[in-house]
Amino acid sequence: MDICSKCGNPNIVIKRKASGQALCQDCFIESIEKKVIKTIKKENLLQKGDKVMVALSGGKDSVATLEILNSYVERHFIELCACTIDEGIKGYRQEGVDIAKRHAKRLGIEHQILSFKDAFDIDLDEIMNVPDHRGACTYCGVFRRWLINRAARDMGATKIATGHNLDDEAEAIMMNYLEGNIGNLVKIGPITESKSELFTPKIKPLREIPEREVGLYALSKGLEIHLDGCPYAQQSFRMEVGNVLKDLTPEHPTIMYSTLRGFDKMRPVIREELTEPFEFDRCEICGEPSSNKVCRACTFLKELGHSPNLDYF
Amino acid sequence: MIFMTFKLEYNEINEDKELNGKTTILNVLDDLEVSPQTIVAKKNDQIVSEDAEINDGDTIKLIQIIYGG
Structure confidence at residue B1 (pLDDT): 62
The conformational region for residue A171 under phi > 0 = left, psi -120 to 50 = alpha, else beta, is: alpha
Structure confidence at residue B68 (pLDDT): 64
Structure confidence at residue A245 (pLDDT): 94
Best residue of B49, B50, B64, B67 to probe chain A, by most A CBs closer than 10 Å: B49
Q: What is the distance between the alpha carbons of residues A13 and B29, in angstroms, rounded to a whole number?
A: 16
Contacting residues for A135 by C-beta, under 8 A, at least 6 apart: A234
Structural domains of chain A sorted by starting position, each given as residue range(s) with its CATH number in brackets: 1-31 (no CATH), 43-276 (3.40.50.620)
Best residue of A213, A246, A249 to probe chain B, by most B CBs closer than 10 Å: A246
Structure confidence at residue A155 (pLDDT): 97
Within 10 A of A140 (CB to CB), how many other CB atoms are there? 19
Q: What is the distance between the alpha carbons of residues A54 and A204, in angstroms, rounded to a whole number?
A: 10
CA Rg value for chain B: 12
Best residue of B9, B47, B53 to probe chain A, by most A CBs closer than 10 Å: B47
Torsion of Cα atoms, A286 then A289 then A294 then A298, to 10°:
-50
Q: Do B66 and A212 touch (CB under 8 A)?
A: yes
Structure confidence at residue B23 (pLDDT): 97
Share of residues in chain B with pLDDT > 70 (%): 96
Residue numbers of chain A with a pLDDT score lower than 50: none
Within 10 A of A34 (CB to CB), how many other CB atoms are there? 10
What is the pTM assigned to this prediction? 0.95
- Report the residue of chain B nearest A248, measured CA to CA: B37
Q: Do B66 and A219 touch (CB under 8 A)?
A: no
With an 8 Å Cβ cutoff, the interface of chain A facing chain B consists of: 1-2, 11-15, 22, 25, 60, 211-212, 215-216, 219-220, 227, 229-230, 233, 235, 239-240, 242-243, 246, 249
- Report the residue of chain A nearest B63, measured CA to CA: A227
Taking the CA of residue B56 and the nearest CA in chain A, the distance in Å comes to 18
Q: What is the distance between the alpha carbons of residues B34 and A167, in angstroms, rounded to a whole number?
A: 19
Angle A188-A189-A193 from CA coordinates, rounded to 5°: 90
Does residue B69 carry a pLDDT above 60? no
Per-residue pLDDT of A279-305, as tens digits, reads 778 999 999 998 889 999 999 999 999
Contacting residues for A17 by C-beta, under 8 A, at least 6 apart: A250, A253
Q: Do B47 and A13 touch (CB under 8 A)?
A: yes
Q: What are φ and ψ of residue A223, in 5° steps?
A: -80, 135
Structure confidence at residue A233 (pLDDT): 84
Let me know how many helices (H) and strands (E) chain B has, helices first: 1, 5
Element of type H or E holding A281 = strand A281-282
Q: Do B51 and A13 touch (CB under 8 A)?
A: no
Q: What is the distance between the alpha carbons of residues A144 and B50, in angstroms, rounded to a whole number?
A: 36
Structure confidence at residue B3 (pLDDT): 85
Structural domains of chain B sorted by starting position, each given as residue range(s) with its CATH number in brackets: 5-64 (3.10.20.30)
Structure confidence at residue A184 (pLDDT): 85
- Does B64 contact chain A (CB < 8 Å)? yes
Structure confidence at residue A55 (pLDDT): 98
- Within 22-41 of B, beta carbons closer than 8 Å to A belong to 35, 37-38, 40
Q: Is the ipTM reported for this complex over the cut 0.90?
A: yes
